């Protein structure tokens, strides 16, 4: 592994050992996963335990009713796999259904945006296919924290405070869980969720009632969720009207049949060779290939002669990101329902043609390409808002415009202060979690749990968790790759990464951050793979991202030439970026990205690292 002997100062040591490594966005989850490795479980057992604990201790960032894309590799085969843990839209989710309600977009909160919750089924599938432990064992730590309590993060307390009135007035089931005694729980106070504990305990009971066979137990737990008592509660909750981000009350569309008919599917990842490695991502039902497109654009440049964190590098990365994300918004969608030209989008010839569009000044255009000679199509609403933003700004400064409504994006513009949970419009925002695990056998797995945020949808009956609102990422306008439709997977932003070297898994990495996930991972990969930094040094390095794209979340914001950069890049670099025409927002020194990573070196040594940003992610191992 390059750079592990680097003398550079890092905020934390890079963890190095031989037994196992777990890195995640919460210290309790990391240690819970490490305990599994210490007790003989493998990386996949540890990932399930880690993820289930994240569902409990980061309820404002993910939940049991959320979404879980997985990418991993089972040693020694070296064959990477993806579990598409993104649930589809309900059968009743048609454009006409929304038109009948007078809506031209999917609200960002409430019940109308609910899709099939994919998290639990995906964890059970991962456990069945690749794990070795039983349901009771992998769920035990999560049950313990839900039952006996954990320190509530300050961000979670702040999120609850901002939606307390909504809970009290409109979402009483949420108030029962998150406003104990009618009060907002204090930061770092001991917080428990007995309803969630009872739900998990009942799932364990259903599993053990199936007899001693491990596979039968896992299937029984899955069935109890999607065809049993959990499905019954979800269907009953969805049939009630609740107030959402439109300011009006609407019933949900999710039915018991939608849940019973869904199974997670294993898929082959999309891949690209870069810097002597193979980078593996989800398919285009997620935004994962956008990282590959960015790397393909950079692969034709002289990166080795570019200084890390220089204005030249930031400019090249940002302008490439604009092109790649424009393609994402024009072409990506559920490949089961739309023709995504993924081979053409990732081809060297296409990357070369697109690379010619990058010049010395920041572009203010959204420029999707024409793979295979087919003309791209963006939503009509996007075209209108881009033109409006350009007229308002005179093309001399960045301008942020919302395409629709008020909702639940996963990144807050930094000019709102230091709290990433609040947008510039005062909207309380959800976010995401991440985990990476590598074990002594060489198994590697990367997972990005998200959705089912406490602030996005009311708690379901007495289950103690919420539904995902991922349908807000669809366009109600028809004929687009990302159009709303029954059984379609929304084009999610969740984007774990697996890096292979000579066909063997080497690095698992990822970050929360919505549209920024595949932007914050890019400088990390360049720092590590190209510039030779160690994992922790690469994570600690200052980072940036562009907002010159169509936000995936409601409101669908666009900020022409927008560039957010940590002030640690330095005044000279930031001034240079302004001169190049970027609409620059300088953020705090440690404000962007929540990366974690775990890796296995060519010498068999295991490594892990986690960001200091947010002061909660942690890597553990030995």
As a whole-number percent, the residues of the chain with pLDDT over 90 amount to 87
Phi then psi dihedrals of residue 158, to 5 deg: -65, -40
Residues 307 and 243 occupy one common structural domain = no
- Does the residue 316 lie in any domain? yes
What are the backbone angles phi and psi of residue 299, rounded to the nearest 5°? -65, -20
List Cα–Cα distances, 437 to 32, 119, 136, 169, 594, in angstroms. 12, 18, 20, 42, 16
Other residues' Cβ atoms within 10 Å of the Cβ of residue 273:
13
Q: Is the pTM of this model over 0.85?
A: yes
For residue 491, the model assigns a pLDDT of 96
pLDDT of residue 385: 81
Q: Which of 96, 429, 482, 55 is nearest to 253 (CA)?
A: 96
Residue pLDDT, tens place only, 460-502: 999 999 999 999 999 999 999 999 999 999 999 999 999 999 9
80 pLDDT band, cuts 50/70/90, is: very high
Q: What is the pLDDT of residues 519-571, one digit of tens each?
A: 999 999 999 999 999 999 999 999 999 999 999 988 888 899 999 999 999 99
Given pLDDT bands bounded at 50, 70 and 90, which one contains residue 394? low
pLDDT for position 398: 58
Of 355, 468, 348, the C-alpha closest to 408 is 468
pLDDT of residue 273: 98
Q: pLDDT at residue 422 above 60?
A: no
261, 284: one domain: no
In this prediction, residues 306-314 reach a mean pLDDT of 96
Sequence-distant contacts of 34-42: CB under 8 A, at least 24 apart: 34/620, 34/621, 35/141, 36/133, 36/138, 37/437, 37/439, 37/440, 41/131, 41/132, 41/133, 41/137, 41/138, 42/130, 42/131, 42/132, 42/439, 42/441, 42/443
305 against 160, higher pLDDT? 160
Task: Write out pLDDT tens, residues 229-273.
Answer: 999 999 999 999 999 999 999 999 999 999 999 999 999 999 999
Banded model confidence at residue 310, pLDDT cuts 50, 70, 90: very high
| Residue 419, pLDDT score | 40
pLDDT per residue as tens digits for the range 102-115: 999 999 999 999 99
Are 262 and 288 members of one domain?
Answer: no
- At residue 587 the predicted structure's pLDDT band, cuts being 50, 70 and 90, is very high
Same domain, 60 and 142: yes
Q: Tell me whether residue 129 is in a domain.
A: yes
Same domain? 40 vs 176: yes
pLDDT in tens, 192-202: 999 999 999 99
pLDDT tens track for 121-151:
999 999 999 999 999 999 999 999 999 999 9
Does a structural domain hold residue 228?
yes
What's residue 485's pLDDT? 98
Q: Which two tokens stand for residue 456?
A: 């996005």
Q: What is the mean pLDDT of the segment spanning 578-583?
A: 98
pLDDT given for residue 399 in this prediction:
60
Dihedral-angle region of residue 241 (phi above 0 means left; psi in -120 to 50 means alpha; beta otherwise)? beta
Residue 542 maps to which CATH number? Answer: 1.10.246.130
On whether residue 480 sits in a domain, the answer given is: no
Q: Read off the pLDDT of each residue in 601-606 and give the average, rounded to a whole number.
A: 95
74 and 188 share a domain?
A: yes
Ranges 58-62, 73-77, 124-128, 315-319: which has the least confidence: 73-77
Domain co-membership, 421 together with 468: no
Q: Are 411 and 420 in contact (CB under 8 A)?
A: yes
Whether 10 is covered by a domain: the verdict is no
Domain span including residue 103 = 27-266+436-473
* Number of residues in the chain: 622
Residue 300 has what pLDDT? 82
CB under 8 Å to 370, separation ≥6 — which residues?
A: 376
What's the mean pLDDT when you consider all of the chain? 93
Q: Which helix (H) or strand (E) holds 546?
A: strand 544-546
Q: Is residue 387 part of a domain?
A: yes
- pLDDT of residue 323 exceeding 50: yes
Q: 400 with 545, same domain?
A: yes
Judge if 258 and 384 occupy the same domain.
Answer: no
Q: Are residues 261 and 118 in the same domain?
A: yes
Same domain, 282 and 251: no
Count how many domains the chain has. Answer: 2
* Same domain (yes/no): 159, 106: yes
The answer to whether position 20 is within a domain reads no
């Amino acid at each position: 592994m390059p750079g592990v002997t680097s003398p550079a100062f890092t905020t934390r040591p890079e963890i190095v050992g031989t037994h196992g490594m777990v890195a995640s966005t919460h210290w309790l989850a990391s240690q819970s996963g490490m305990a599994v490795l210490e007790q003989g479980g493998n990386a996949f057992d540890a990932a399930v335990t880690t993820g289930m604990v994240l569902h409990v201790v980061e309820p404002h960032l993910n939940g049991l009713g959320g979404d879980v894309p997985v990418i991993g590799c089972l040693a020694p085969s070296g064959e990477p796999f993806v579990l598409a843990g993104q649930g589809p839209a309900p059968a009743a989710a048609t454009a006409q259904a929304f038109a009948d309600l007078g809506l031209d977009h999917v609200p960002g909160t409430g019940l109308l945006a609910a899709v099939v919750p994919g998290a639990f089924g995906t964890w059970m599938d991962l456990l069945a296919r690749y794990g070795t432990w039983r349901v009771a064992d992998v769920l035990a730590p999560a049950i313990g924290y839900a039952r006996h309590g954990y320190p509530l993060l300050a961000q979670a307390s702040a999120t609850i405070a901002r939606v307390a009135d909504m809970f009290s007035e409109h979402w009483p089931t949420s108030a029962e869980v998150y406003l104990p005694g009618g009060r907002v729980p204090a930061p770092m106070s001991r917080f428990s969720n007995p309803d969630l504990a009872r739900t998990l305990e009942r799932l364990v009971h259903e599993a053990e009632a199936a007899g001693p066979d491990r596979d039968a137990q896992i299937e029984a737990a899955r069935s109890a969720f999607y065809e049993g008592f959990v499905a019954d509660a979800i269907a009953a909750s969805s049939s009630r009207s609740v107030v959402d981000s439109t300011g009006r009350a609407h019933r949900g569309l999710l039915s018991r049949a939608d849940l019973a008919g869904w199974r997670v599917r294993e898929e082959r990842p999309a891949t690209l060779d870069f810097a002597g490695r193979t980078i593996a991502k989800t398919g285009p039902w997620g935004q994962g290939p956008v990282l590959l497109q960015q790397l393909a654009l950079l692969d034709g440049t002289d990166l080795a002669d570019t200084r890390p964190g220089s204005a030249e590098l930031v400019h090249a990365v940002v302008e490439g990101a604009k092109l790649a994300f424009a393609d994402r918004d024009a072409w990506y969608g559920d490949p089961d329902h739309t023709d995504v030209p993924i081979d053409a989008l990732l081809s060297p010839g296409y990357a070369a043609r697109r690379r010619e569009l990058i010049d010395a000044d920041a572009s203010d255009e959204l420029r999707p390409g024409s793979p295979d000679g087919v003309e791209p199509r963006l939503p009509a609403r996007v075209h209108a808002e881009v033109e409006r933003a350009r007229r308002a700004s005179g093309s001399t400064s960045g301008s942020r415009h919302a395409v629709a409504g008020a909702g639940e994006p996963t990144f807050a513009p930094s000019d709102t202060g230091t709290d990433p949970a609040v947008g510039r419009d005062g909207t309380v925002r959800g976010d995401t979690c991440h985990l990476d695990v590598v074990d002594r056998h060489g198994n590697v797995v990367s997972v990005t749990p998200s959705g089912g945020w406490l602030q996005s949808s009311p708690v379901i009956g007495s289950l103690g968790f919420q539904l995902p609102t991922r349908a807000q990422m669809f366009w109600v306008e028809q004929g687009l790759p990302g159009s709303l439709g029954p059984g379609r997977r929304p084009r999610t932003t969740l984007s774990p990464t697996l890096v292979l070297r000579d066909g063997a898994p080497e690095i698992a990495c990822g970050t929360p951050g919505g549209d920024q996930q595949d932007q914050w991972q890019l400088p990390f990969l360049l720092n590590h793979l190209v510039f030779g930094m160690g994992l922790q040094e690469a994570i600690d390095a200052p980072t940036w991202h562009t907002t010159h794209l169509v936000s995936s979340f409601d409101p669908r914001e666009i900020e022409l030439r927008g560039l957010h950069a940590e002030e640690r890049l330095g005044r000279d670099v930031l001034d240079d970026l302004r001169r190049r025409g970027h609409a620059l927002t300088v953020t705090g020194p440690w404000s962007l990205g929540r990366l974690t990573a775990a890796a296995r070196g060519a010498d068999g040594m295991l490594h892990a690292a986690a960001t200091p940003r947010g002061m909660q992610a942690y890597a553990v191992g030995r």
